[in-house]
Amino acid sequence: MSDARPVTISIAQFNAQDDDKPGNLARAAHYLELAGNRGSDIVVLPELFTGTGFSSGDAHEALAEPIPGPTFELMAAAARRHAMYVTGSFYERAADGRLHNTAPVVGPGGDLLGCYRKTHLFDVPNRTDLPPGIMESKKVSPGVELQLYDTNLCRFGIGICADIRFPEMFRAYAKAGAELILLPTAFLSPRFDHWDFLLKARATDHQMFIAASGMTGKEKVTGIGFIGRSAVVDPWGVILAGAPDEEALLTTTIDLDQVRRVRNWWPLNEQIRPDLYGNVAIKTSAS
């Protein structure tokens, strides 16, 4: 027999344009209210939901704001009104003047529990054909820590978009007891195959749930497109719920006790061999 641990998660999927921050915030507020009305325990907004900063090399400057600040207060008001956890990322202007791609984590009382700053930036230095707003290291500073939140619901970790490509990060979260990862993204199209197998692999290898938002539509100046397809994936790598190719609020209820059941069945986290991984024997051929 198992003790069910139901948690209702909502994922907001919409398009954000750099020249319409008020409109972007209105969409976020709409979906937060809808999520609250659906009885959500956790809500995940997209990455850079106040504006992607992709339209030019300096568009992100006008979008950046402190935390706490106006966007945080919008998130906090909804969290407080509906007693839910809320996250999603936007450009933060830190006290030292540096900019970050940051996902604040808001508690059910509207309090700021912490700020996860994206640690693995999206950099493609050999792609000279891409617009200047894409190269993330030219715009923001990377974060320097992973963050695990021990809450009344579960232990959840935070990642942002390109972090999904680094399994070491998810292994660290799993070893620290994470049962769920919240992953705001603006994953670029047309790489649905990457999106699909990365989500399944991270969830399966580390035996945890992943709730991943995806921006949808296109950035109108550059034509850069986003994959959408927000999803909730279980510890077996099964997509429990997925969003369509349009703006939507995806809502589903998971049973967090599944993490315990899967890890008991095959305790992968106890079978890793860190003594092996730093010592690769290179064999040379005489021929």
- Do the Cβ atoms of 151 and 5 come closer than 8 Å? no
**Is there a catalytic annotation at residue 161?**
yes
- The pair of structure tokens assigned to 3 is 């003790």
Report the distance separating Cα 39 and Cα 57, nearest Å: 40
Report the distance separating Cα 23 and Cα 21, nearest Å: 5
CA 248 and chain centroid, separation: 17
Q: Please pick, among 21, 47, 115, 200, the residue that the annotation labels catalytic.
A: 47
Report the distance separating Cα 149 and Cα 235, nearest Å: 19
Q: Please pick, among 161, 179, 200, 219, the residue that the annotation labels catalytic.
A: 161
Q: Which residue has the tokens 């399944």?
A: 200
Report the distance separating Cα 102 and Cα 244, nearest Å: 26
Q: Please pick, among 21, 92, 115, 118, the residue that the annotation labels catalytic.
A: 118
Q: Which residues contact 76 (CB under 8 A, 6 or more apart)?
A: 68, 86, 106, 110, 111, 112
Q: Give the per-residue SS3 of 46-59.
A: CCCCCCCCCCCCCH
Q: Where are the alpha helices (DSSP H) in the chain?
A: 21-37, 59-63, 70-82, 167-175, 192-206, 257-265, 274-277
The number of residues in the chain equals: 287
- The pair of structure tokens assigned to 119 is 């640690």
- The pair of structure tokens assigned to 268 is 């992968």
- 124 CB neighbour count, 10 Å cutoff: 12
**Is there a catalytic annotation at residue 118?**
yes
**Is there a catalytic annotation at residue 47?**
yes
What is the set of active-site residues? 47, 118, 161
